[in-house]
Structure 1
């Protein structure tokens, strides 16, 4: 059901926001805020899962979503992309629910897209060809699943398990795909730049991108040298941040030296280490059995938790919290966003009519034991339109429209 033009007071309790009226307060309403436009303020994290065939992509996806998709042991088992949405683990919500007697908790979510296996020559039509490329263009980041487990029953498409070679294969195909996109766009941009001065910057950056790609580098790795924002219209794959998931067995997961080597191989990108089969098994176990299984492979928590957090970090995201009798909820925003921008994630009216934000840090609230005690201790602050949100802020917005 769509929101009404003017939000009723009942939404105050549901979304941690308070509509406020009066000419004096109306004068405080901001007419604009820096940063993303209103229509872009609902932030979703989408990771496109790519990798060579038989590296465990679909097994990982099954564990992420608890859905059964085709995970057969042969190349191209995944032909159509499978999309799943999973919650970001956040124990803070349970504590908030206790304090506010919330009926439910609503975590932030992470979206994963399982893409058909990529092979050498895919950018030229080999394997599933360019089909996989179109499926990941809308993803915010690319999650490369790299095989580091040994299993003679699962044939590696290249005949041997070599993480460095697999990463090079994937990066090369993505770079070649971007080269095709850039070469196709350049004649159009050159023509536009001759008649429209405002297109000259786009042309120059695209030419710069061609040179970077031609050198065998991903665009994101060159972000200090190039304005990636100017390339957004081309939806270039290597302009996205990369996240690496090493699908390992117990021998690797318990080998600190090997893990360090693999982490350094992809630095400064984030790296996650897990056993996709074990992650699927964990879904069937109780808490005690889960802990015992994780300890046996040298892990302290499910790898999926690490993956979700790494995805947030890769994309520069964070969450703020709201709580009331109906629900305790985590909202996804970008790091460095202002309070009005954060309010806009709940509803655009909250940003347009933003007045103030009543904020307490999660840690201060927990230390105090209740909102009333936090206020009595001077831990609750009234912040204005220039306030930069911090991860874990517990917020109640005041607005007027």
Structure 2
């Protein structure tokens, strides 16, 4: 509590407080608001998006930097217009505005990064599924995210990166290029890995 008090007296959020694992467990029993992750999103009009300028920009950026909160600029008006266009026209419109992706994609990416999350994929003949796990999670723990039997009977993970799979077109070509990997329990899953888990229970 003394550590928390010192941080709060400096008008800083508790989310930036470095704690041991034991202290972190103790603090979870309290529901401190400033311990929760936070991002800021500003909704701008088209002119503000083009210019990158809006009222109180400097003050907002200064305060968010002080409390270590990421800032995302979006325009609900532009997002609505993009959603009404076909993909080719939407890409041209976004390029004219200097945008590489949609506001919702930028928000999702920032939230994932800020929360320390990544995604990996599993793929079968009928479906592809995306799974969310914490960054630096091992293959065996990722398998447990799908089902406890996979974690308990884990043998190995057959891994290919999403980029390599898209580049090659299919798993057979991935294997021919030597980009297919067999990984054990301690393998740290990377964002975008496509994994087949082998297990026996």
Are residues 1:377 and 2:177 paired?
yes
In structure 2, relative to structure 1, the CA distance for the partners of 1:349 and 1:271 (3 Å cut) is: same
CA distance in 2, matches of 1:299, 1:314: 21
**Which residue, 2, 18, 25 being the options, matches 1:224?**
18
| Aligned residue number for residue 79 of structure 2 | 279
In structure 2, relative to structure 1, the CA distance for the partners of 1:370 and 1:284 (3 Å cut) is: closer
CA contact (8 A) 2:94 2:101 kept: yes
SS of the aligned residue for 1:210 comes to helix
| Aligned residue number for residue 181 of structure 1 | none
Are residues 1:209 and 2:7 paired?
no
Structure having greater relative contact order (Cα 8 Å, sep ≥ 6):
1
SS of the aligned residue for 1:300 comes to coil
In structure 2, relative to structure 1, the CA distance for the partners of 1:371 and 1:293 (3 Å cut) is: closer
CA contact (8 A) 2:46 2:77 kept: no
| Aligned residue number for residue 99 of structure 2 | 299
SS of the aligned residue for 2:7 comes to helix
1:58-98 deviation digits (Å, cap 9, x = unpaired)? xxxxxxxxxxxxxxxxxxxxxxxxxxxxxxxxxxxxxxxxx
What does residue range 309-388 of structure 1 map to in structure 2 within 5 Å? 309-388=109-188
What does residue range 2-401 of structure 1 map to in structure 2 within 5 Å? 206-221=1-16, 223-224=17-18, 227-256=23-52, 261=58, 262-263=60-61, 265-267=63-65, 268-295=68-95, 297-401=97-201
CA distance in 2, matches of 1:370, 1:294: 31
1:333 is displaced (CA, Å) by 0.8
SS of the aligned residue for 2:190 comes to coil
1:305 is displaced (CA, Å) by 1.1
1:209 is displaced (CA, Å) by 1.6
SS of the aligned residue for 2:194 comes to strand
Q: Name which one, 1 or 2, has greater alpha-carbon Rg.
A: 1
CA distance in 2, matches of 1:260, 1:372: 51
In structure 2, relative to structure 1, the CA distance for the partners of 1:228 and 1:239 (3 Å cut) is: farther
| Aligned residue number for residue 25 of structure 1 | none
CA distance in 1, matches of 2:159, 2:76: 40
Task: Supply the RMSD in Å over aligned alpha carbons.
Answer: 2.5
CA distance in 1, matches of 2:78, 2:49: 12
CA distance in 2, matches of 1:299, 1:243: 20
1:245 is displaced (CA, Å) by 0.4
Q: Which moved more, 1:283-292 or 1:227-236?
A: 283-292
CA contact (8 A) 1:272 1:306 kept: yes
CA distance in 1, matches of 2:197, 2:5: 46
- Structure with the higher fraction of residues in helix conformation: 2
In structure 2, relative to structure 1, the CA distance for the partners of 1:336 and 1:375 (3 Å cut) is: same
Which structure 2 residue ranges, 5 or more long, are not aligned? none
CA distance in 1, matches of 2:162, 2:88: 28
SS of the aligned residue for 1:242 comes to coil
SS of the aligned residue for 1:234 comes to coil
TM-score, scaled relative to structure 1: 0.44
1:212 is displaced (CA, Å) by 2.3
CA contact (8 A) 1:219 1:239 kept: yes
TM-score, scaled relative to structure 2: 0.83
